[in-house]
């Protein structure tokens, strides 16, 4: 069809520039609209860091887009120290059920597919590693909010071992090694993985990967990747945001902002902004905690620390409660993620400054604000309440007069009070004081 149109252009003596433009437009039309998108397309995503619910969402969305693009395959460049078991299971299920071939490429050089990454790599249709990378160390770590006993630990290991066995069997990979990676935390290099049938290929870079994938048959489909165009699918703004929130440091910061905001609103009623910020942070914290179970004892210790900080504002302990609160806060922060993978542990370089900031916040802001709420009023009409004043004219229910701060005020009382006696002001009604006698 294109050749026919070119001949048509020449036969009608169109000038060269118009002829050239016309041919380009016709080619674009027939390529894009009649024959669909370029079939030689490989979708490519990069997963780096801990495996979290955001990672699972990102991979699921990318699989859907690869299906829409009619891509040759989806390549997942992977570099992870591990992550959450539930998120790993979701990713594995999506890969196993995918109609689009999935290639997991452990890269760049120096990267690793440890723990959760081992499950994901073995689940791929094609498992590839770059030189000087490693895979393994898939021994499960408790993902819940509590310390496991030996029986529960053994159950989790047995479950993970059988799970990785089914994955390796599905992809015809080395089952015995997969089980040992879980049971004994064995880790091997890319070259060793290729020799013992853990992976399918070793590729130095992206172009080398596409050349080696070309012509490979996957579930009845032959890949044509050598001349394919790589289309990268980036994380969406929402995925980047929530991925950032799942860092343990950010989860602790959300906890503190929720506390700071709510207490700031209570100590300064009407400020609005602290309360709004605190509630938003609390909602985000609940979302992350639902996805990443934390240690309840850690939260309890942080709550105790807050109580001690507040207690210091009303009890003159010369800093003892503050010191106790600081210790409780540090212990609580350390315990918060202690049952999770080591990648979710909070570093001391972050914990010490955040503890100092929290102590200063309670000493200079929250304590002062809370004390102000309970202080006696020192200006205005309300300063007259509960004062003891002298009666200068007999007082009854109809009226009388008292002398207050150099002024004569009208006063009423349910009980008669004689001139020269003393009474207490209990209420102010306009310019009239309600008093009661002092026995």
Please work out, in degrees rounded to the nearest 5, the angle formed at the alpha carbon of residue 241 by the alpha carbons of 145 and 291. 20
d(Cα 419, Cα 414) in Å, to the nearest integer? 15
Question: Whole-angstrom Cα distance, residue 76 to residue 398?
Answer: 89
State how far the Cα of 77 lies from the Cα of 46, in Å rounded to an integer.
Answer: 5
User: By C-alpha distance, which of 376, 368, 362 is closest to 302?
Assistant: 362
Nearest-angstrom CA–CA distance, 87 and 58: 11
- Length reported for the chain: 439
Measured distance CA(58)–CA(49) in Å, rounded:
13
Q: What is the 3-state secondary structure (H, E, C) of the chain?
A: CHHHHHHHHHHCCCCHHHHHHHHHHHHHHHHHHHCCCCCCEEEEEEEECCECHHHHHHHHHHHHHHHHHCCCEEEEEEEECCECHHHHHHHHHHHHCCCCCEEEEECCCCCEEECHHHHHHHHCCEEEECCCCEEECCCCCCCCCCCCCHHHHHHHHHHHHHHHHHHHHHCCCCHHHHHHHHHCCCEEEHHHHHHCCCCCEECCCHHHHHHHHCCCEECCEECCCCCCEEEECCCCHHHHHHHHHCCHHHHHHHHHHHHHHHHHHHHCCCCCHHHHHHHHHHHHHHHHHHHCCCCHHHHHHHHHHHHHHHHHHHCCCCCHHHHHHHHHHHHHHHHHCCCCCHHHCCCHHHHHHHHHHHHHHHHHHHHHHHHHHHCCCCCCHHHHCCCEEEEEECECCCCCEEEECCEEEEEECCCCECCCCEEEEEEEECCEEEEEECC
Whether the CB-CB separation of 98 and 144 falls below 8 Å is answered with: no
Check: pTM over 0.85? Answer yes or no: no
| The pLDDT value given to residue 371 | 58
Report d(CA 116, CA 86) in Å as an integer.
10
**Backbone dihedral region for residue 386 (phi beyond 0: left; psi -120 to 50: alpha; all else: beta):** left
Tens-of-pLDDT digits for all 439 residues of the chain?
443 444 444 444 444 444 444 444 444 444 444 444 446 899 999 999 889 889 999 999 999 999 999 999 999 999 999 888 889 999 999 999 999 999 999 999 999 999 999 999 999 999 999 999 999 988 776 443 344 556 777 888 888 999 999 999 999 999 999 999 999 989 999 999 999 999 999 999 999 999 999 999 998 889 999 989 999 999 999 888 888 887 888 888 888 888 888 877 776 777 788 888 888 988 888 878 766 667 788 888 888 888 887 777 677 666 788 888 888 888 888 887 766 666 667 878 888 888 888 888 777 766 665 555 555 555 556 677 878 888 999 998 888 999 887 788 999 998 899 988 999 988 888 888 999 998 7
| Gap between the Cα atoms of 253 and 248, Å rounded | 9
Show the domains of the chain with their CATH numbers. Answer: 37-238 (3.90.226.10), 247-374 (no CATH), 381-437 (2.40.50.140)
pLDDT of residue 340: 62
Distances (CA, A) of 235 to 46, 55, 159, 241, 415: 9, 9, 32, 10, 77
- φ, ψ at 411 (rounded to 5°): -140, 150
Q: How many Å apart are CA 199 and CA 179, to the nearest integer? A: 15
Tokens at 281, concatenated:
């942070």
- Nearest-angstrom CA–CA distance, 106 and 123: 13
Q: Which of 276, 280, 332, 275 is nearest to 309 (CA)?
A: 332
């Amino acid at each position: 069809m294109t050749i026919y149109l070119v001949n048509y252009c020449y036969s009608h003596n169109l000038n060269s520039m118009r002829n050239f433009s016309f041919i380009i437009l016709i080619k674009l039309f027939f390529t894009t609209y009649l024959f669909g998108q370029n079939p030689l397309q490989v979708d490519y995503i990069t997963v780096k860091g801990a495996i979290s619910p955001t990672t699972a969402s990102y991979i699921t969305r990318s699989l859907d887009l690869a299906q829409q693009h009619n891509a040759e395959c989806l390549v997942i460049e992977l570099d992870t120290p591990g992550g959450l078991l539930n998120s790993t299971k979701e990713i594995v299920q999506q890969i196993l059920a995918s109609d689009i071939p999935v290639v997991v490429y452990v890269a760049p050089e120096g990267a690793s597919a440890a723990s959760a990454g081992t499950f994901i790599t073995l689940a791929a249709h094609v498992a590839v590693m770059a030189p000087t990378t490693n895979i393994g160390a898939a021994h499960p770590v408790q993902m819940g909010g509590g310390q496991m006993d030996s029986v529960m630990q053994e159950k989790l290991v047995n479950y993970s071992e059988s799970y990785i066995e089914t994955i390796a069997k599905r992809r015809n990979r080395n089952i015995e090694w997969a089980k040992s990676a879980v049971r004994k935390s064995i880790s091997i290099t890319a070259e060793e993985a290729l020799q013992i049938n853990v992976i399918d290929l070793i590729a130095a870079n992206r172009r080398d990967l596409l050349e080696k994938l070309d012509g490979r048959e996957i579930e009845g489909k032959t890949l044509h990747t050598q001349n394919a165009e790589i289309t990268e699918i980036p994380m969406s703004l929402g995925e980047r945001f929530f991925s950032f929130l799942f860092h343990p440091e950010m989860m602790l910061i959300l906890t503190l902002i929720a506390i700071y905001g709510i207490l700031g609103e209570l100590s300064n009623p009407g400020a609005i902004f602290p309360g709004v910020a605190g509630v938003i942070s609390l909602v985000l914290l609940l979302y992350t905690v639902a996805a990443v179970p934390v240690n309840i004892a850690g939260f309890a210790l942080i709550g105790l620390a807050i109580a001690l900080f507040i207690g210091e504002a009303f009890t003159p302990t010369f800093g003892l409660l503050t010191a106790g609160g600081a210790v409780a806060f540090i212990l609580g922060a350390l315990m918060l993620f202690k049952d999770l993978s080591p990648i979710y542990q909070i570093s001391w370089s972050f914990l010490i400054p955040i503890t100092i900031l929290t102590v200063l916040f309670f000493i200079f802001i929250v304590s002062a604000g809370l004390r102000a709420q309970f202080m006696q009023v020192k200006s205005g009409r309300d300063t007259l309440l509960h004062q003891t004043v002298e009666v200068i004219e007999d007082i009854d229910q109809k009226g009388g007069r008292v002398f207050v701060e150099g002024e004569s005020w009208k006063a009423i009382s349910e009980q008669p009070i004689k001139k020269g006696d003393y009474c207490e002001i209990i209420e102010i009604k306009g310019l009239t004081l309600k008093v009661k006698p002092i026995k």
